[in-house]
Structure formats: C-alpha cells, structure tokens
Structure 1
Amino acid sequence: MLAATGWVGGTPTPLRGASVLLRPTTDADTATLDRIVREPAVAAWWSAPDDYDDMLAIVLDDEVIGAIQYDEETDPEYRHASIDIFLTTAMHGRGLGTDSVRTLARWLIRERGHHRLTIDPAAANTAAIHSYRKVGFKPVGIMRAYGRDYRTGGWADGLLMDLIADELS
C-alpha cells in the first residue's frame, strides 16, 4: 500500500472543490486540527491521530476547517481507495464535508485511476452517512463491532459504503 497521502512523485496542485480547497497539511495546521478533533461532536467519531502528515487540510476562506485523508490499495486485483474526513463542528450541515469528499473522490477516480472508493462511517453517524450518499456512496453492509465507540469506550458498528466511478455525483 502507498502512504495515506498517496502523493506519488511529489505534492500535486491543491484540489479545488465548489467551496473548499484541499491541500497537504503543514506543521502550522497542527494546533488547529488538534483543537478540531477534540470538539465533542468530532471526538465522538474520531480519535486524535499522532500527526496529520498523511492528511489534506480542508480550507475555507483561508481557514483550516478540518482534514481529509485517503489510502490506496494498489494490488491490481483489488485496486481501490478509501476516504476518511473530519470537519469542525461550526461547519457541520453546510455541505462542506460533502464538497470535500466529492473533490477528493473526483481526483482519486480521474487522476489516480480508481474505479471504486470506500468510506466507513460509524453506523450511528447519520449526518456523515447522509453526506456521503450525496456524493454517490451506497451502503454495502454493516460491519459489526467494527470500531471503537469514543463515547462509551466499547465497540460500535460501522457502515461500509462504496462508490463506483460512474456513480460519482
């Protein structure tokens, strides 16, 4: 597998969505991203990573409002990419997560040549699931006791969703 950033041969031009800009994170983003992942509505679904080196900053009007990352499976028989995202609570419900996921999905399909993408929100994260459906992701199935539930400390189900290249909206 490639590193989560997948920037083979160097960093590309930042990716522009309808409203957001996705660019590689820098050390200057760390304090902002640390603050965001500790917001209660974000921390319910995300744990703070050790670093943000393999992520793209989500920027709106020159302000970092979250981060998005991807991973690529390069085995030709199973080639696909996966996406994960978090966004500051103040920006929830404004379509910016959808714009970010759609922007990265387009790049993964058009520039990296992936025919299939996956995303795996917690099954209880209805807002995220709604956003991913807008991009074209479809539910595949429930993954039982899939990930840590940061609210309870127990295990929570995840929803596997995928998108085939020609379904991108």
Structure 2
Amino acid sequence: MELSGDKVVLRPVTSGEDAILDRIVREPEVAAWWSPPDDYEGMLAVVCEGEVIGAVQFEEETDPEFRRAGIDIFLTARHHGKGLGTDAVRTLAKWLVRERGYHRLTIDPAAANTAAICSYRKVGFKPVGIMRAYGRDHQTGTWQDALLMDLLAEELT
C-alpha cells in the first residue's frame, strides 16, 4: 500500500526505519505529545522527498453500529509548520473514506496542542468536545485533557 498526497507519500514502515522513527518520537517537540511506542508495526511512514519524516497510524472500529476510523500522527520537528502533517492526515482520511468506506473519522489531540488542532481543522475536522483527563502524560505522569474532533465523509476537504 502506498498513498500519495500533494507533498508526502504514506507507506508501510520498513525494517530499519524503527530507529529513525524512534529518534523522531524522542525529539522534545514530539515527545511533548507522544510516548515512544513499543514498535512501529502497522504504522505508515510519512515520506517527503525520499526522507522518512514521521509516521501516521489509524485504527478501525468495524462494529456496524459504531463504524468509524481514528487517526494519529507525528512528524519530526524540523518539518513542523510546513503543511506536511496536514497533507498526510488529509491523504489518509481520503483513503479511509473512499477505499475503506468510513463515513466518520476521529482524531483526539491533546487539548493544549494548538498546532495539531489547527492542522486538523484545515483537513475539515471539527471539535466535538473536551475529553477530561483523557491520557496520561508519559513525562509527568499527570492526566491531560484531549480534544475530540471528528470529520464526516461529506466534509472532507
């Protein structure tokens, strides 16, 4: 599977790229929002001009009564603010809607992660509400709020 956006390509993480992604997820600007995963299996590498610059993942709820997909992403700080994360999320969202048939997508950034929230709004995600004490901050051990955002298929930009 390879998905091409305007600026990035999404493809499965290959062997040897775990170390690259591990370095990225430990950058202070990334680690503020992400804890290092046990492995990167099932994630898609975000590639720009041949360089792995981050990863995106999705999860699927297939129960017909609650069918939806969720997205999560991280990029190296060196490429923040360039529209690459927005392109990656939009590219994956289009695939989830058009190829996997989801009518609703969710994303749940930390409520304090204003840059991520702005990026997701550009794709068409809308705030649903604050999920209080949603996730534990892996650095401080304190519970942090998250903003639940969703996107309906017809709203995808």
TM-score range (shorter-chain normalised) is: over 0.9
- CA drift of 1:31 comes to 0.9
- CA drift of 1:151 comes to 4.5
Corresponding residue for residue 17 of structure 1: 5
Structure 2 Cα separation of the partners of residues 119 and 132 of structure 1: 8
Matched, 1:116 2:108: no
State the AA in 1 paired with 2:150.
Answer: D
Structure 1 Cα separation of the partners of residues 133 and 15 of structure 2: 34
Corresponding residue for residue 95 of structure 2: 107
- Return structure 1 stretches of 4+ with deviation > 3 angstroms: none
Gaps of 5+ in 2: none
Corresponding residue for residue 50 of structure 1: 38
- CA drift of 1:130 comes to 0.2
State the AA in 2 paired with 1:43.
Answer: A
Structure 2 Cα separation of the partners of residues 129 and 152 of structure 1: 22
- CA drift of 1:148 comes to 1.4
Task: Find 1:160's aligned residue among 118, 131, 148.
Answer: 148
- CA drift of 1:54 comes to 1.1
Structure 1 Cα separation of the partners of residues 138 and 8 of structure 2: 28
Corresponding residue for residue 78 of structure 2: 90
Structure 2 Cα separation of the partners of residues 44 and 99 of structure 1: 22
Corresponding residue for residue 124 of structure 2: 136
Give TM-score, length-normalised by structure 1. 0.91
1:62-101 matches, within 5 Å, as: 62-101=50-89
- CA drift of 1:153 comes to 2.2
Structure 2 Cα separation of the partners of residues 31 and 99 of structure 1: 24
> Could you tell me the percent identity over the aligned residues?
73
- CA drift of 1:28 comes to 1.6
Q: SS where residue 98 of structure 1 aligns?
A: helix
Q: SS where residue 16 of structure 2 aligns?
A: helix
How many residues were matched structurally? Answer: 157
Q: SS where residue 64 of structure 1 aligns?
A: strand
Corresponding residue for residue 31 of structure 1: 19
Query: Alpha-carbon deviations, 1:92-151, whole Å to 9, x = none?
Result: 000000000000000000000000000000000000000000000000000000011244
Structure 2 Cα separation of the partners of residues 29 and 150 of structure 1: 23
The CA RMSD measured in Å over matched residues stands at 0.7
